[in-house]
Amino acid sequence: MRRSVLVLAMLCALISAANAQALDAGHLQPAGPAAQHFPSGFAVPGDAEWKGWKLGGFGGPASERSKHVPVIFVHGNNTDHAGWYPVADEMTKSLGYRYGDLWALAYNGVGCNNDTALFTTNNGYRGWTASNDRAASTGCVVTGNEQNVADLKAFIDSVLRYTHASKVDIVAHSLGVTVARRMLWENPTYYTKVAAFVGIAGANHGTSFCPPGSETTVESCNEIAAGTAWLAQMNDGPKGKTPGKAGSNESPGPTKWMTVYDGTGDGDPAFAGPTYATSPHLNGATNCTFPDFYHNDLRVDPRIVADYVAFLRAVELHRSFRCPAPPSPGPS
């Protein structure tokens, strides 16, 4: 029974995403800037694409910091920072992080509820809720990768300045994975500024949402469809370095890398198998599969959150890390 519900929900999500993309073959402007929940004294960067807007997101005051490396969350397509509320809530209540350790940006204005999980609810974080933050939203607006690279770079710089940290960790989901990887690729000195990178369900080698022929009709597919030159550049090592064997340097150091994905081709409609099942995998990373988990549950399920936070802690403490035994999909 649960399997049937899962399949139906995934089908609905796939149809919804496909419809949103079909309606937005050109890059439409969002309804407005995303909500901002930043501490006093934090320099909020302007949006590089939508002039006159500031980036949205959240972060905590310096007085509420621990000794952890600051974590920056990078959201996926159609959505915004508010999809990370359940993750931030779990990390501060159960996993030893504090309010001032956690940061998220919204790089394409106010989002929509395309980040809904099947088994995990988003009840907000510190009184902020997705429904309130997205009250001005008029629907899902698809974006691409390249136009958001500058926003992430500027946000990292602002977090480093405000926290006086020497490095940050990045936890990215879906389109956010390739946005963040591209930012590092275009700015190779930032591999020394990002201690750990967790890439959750990223289209590192293509996605079933961008089948052959979609490259010129769907926003971002010219970047993340299988076989594009845009992906090949990142998968062959840092910009400016002589490429090696194709795909031989997908996770450049000194950054430490972890990927989180379904792996079966059945649970996540963005990576339908067998063609796309292993797309989020990165050579050289700690690649952890969570069979039959849906695209958004991979980001927010508390058991998976605990696993990728354990990776961040292992990197902090210079310890080894092994992928855990995956839990069964369904309510935690």
Q: Look at residue 322 and tell me if it is in a domain.
A: no
The residue segments making up the domain with residue 243 are: 2-316
Two structure tokens written together for 98: 């504090």
Q: How many residues does the chain have?
A: 332
Gap between the Cα atoms of 321 and 280, Å rounded: 19
Q: Look at residue 326 and tell me if it is in a domain.
A: no
Q: Look at residue 243 and tell me if it is in a domain.
A: yes
Q: Is the preceding omega at residue 254 within 30 degrees of 0, hence cis?
A: yes
What is the structure's pLDDT at 2?
Answer: 38
Q: What is the DSSP letter of 41?
A: T
Two structure tokens written together for 185: 């690729």
Residue 88's CATH number: 3.40.50.1820
What are the beta bridge partners of residue 73? 104, 171
Is the dihedral angle over the CA atoms 187, 188, 193, 197 positive or is it negative? Answer: positive
Q: What is the DSSP letter of 277?
A: T
Residue 61 contacts residue 39 (beta carbons within 8 Å)? yes
Residue 176 contacts residue 145 (beta carbons within 8 Å)? no
Residues 6 or more apart in contact with residue 135 via CB below 8 angstroms:
none
Q: Is the preceding omega at residue 274 within 30 degrees of 0, hence cis?
A: yes
Q: Smallest Cα–Cα separation from 198: which of 172, 180, 237? A: 172
What are the beta bridge partners of residue 288? 260
This prediction's pTM: 0.92
Two structure tokens written together for 173: 């989901």
> Per the structure, how many domains does the chain have?
1
pLDDT tens string for the chain (332 positions)?
A: 334 334 434 444 443 444 333 333 457 899 999 999 999 999 999 999 999 999 999 999 999 999 999 999 999 999 999 999 999 999 999 999 999 999 999 999 999 999 999 999 999 999 999 999 999 999 999 999 999 999 999 999 999 999 999 999 999 999 999 999 999 999 999 999 999 999 999 999 999 999 998 877 778 999 999 999 999 999 988 887 765 555 568 999 999 999 999 999 999 999 999 999 999 999 999 999 999 999 999 999 999 999 999 999 999 999 999 999 999 987 75
Two structure tokens written together for 103: 């940061």
- Which amino acid is present at 215? E
Burial 284-315 (b: 16+ CB within 10 A, else e): ebbbbbbebbbbbbbbbbbbbbbbbbbbbbbb
Q: Look at residue 330 and tell me if it is in a domain.
A: no
Residue 107 contacts residue 138 (beta carbons within 8 Å)? no
Gap between the Cα atoms of 93 and 279, Å rounded: 33
Q: Look at residue 110 and tell me if it is in a domain.
A: yes
Element at 189 (helix H, strand E):
none
What is the structure's pLDDT at 218?
Answer: 77
What is the structure's pLDDT at 7?
Answer: 44
Residue 114 contacts residue 108 (beta carbons within 8 Å)? no
Q: How far is CA 18 from CA 3, 218, 240, 269, in A?
A: 22, 9, 36, 11
Two structure tokens written together for 302: 């508390």
Q: Backbone dihedral region of 90: left (phi > 0), alpha (psi from -120 to 50 degrees) or beta?
A: alpha
Q: Look at residue 150 and tell me if it is in a domain.
A: yes
Q: Look at residue 220 and tell me if it is in a domain.
A: yes
Q: Look at residue 328 and tell me if it is in a domain.
A: no
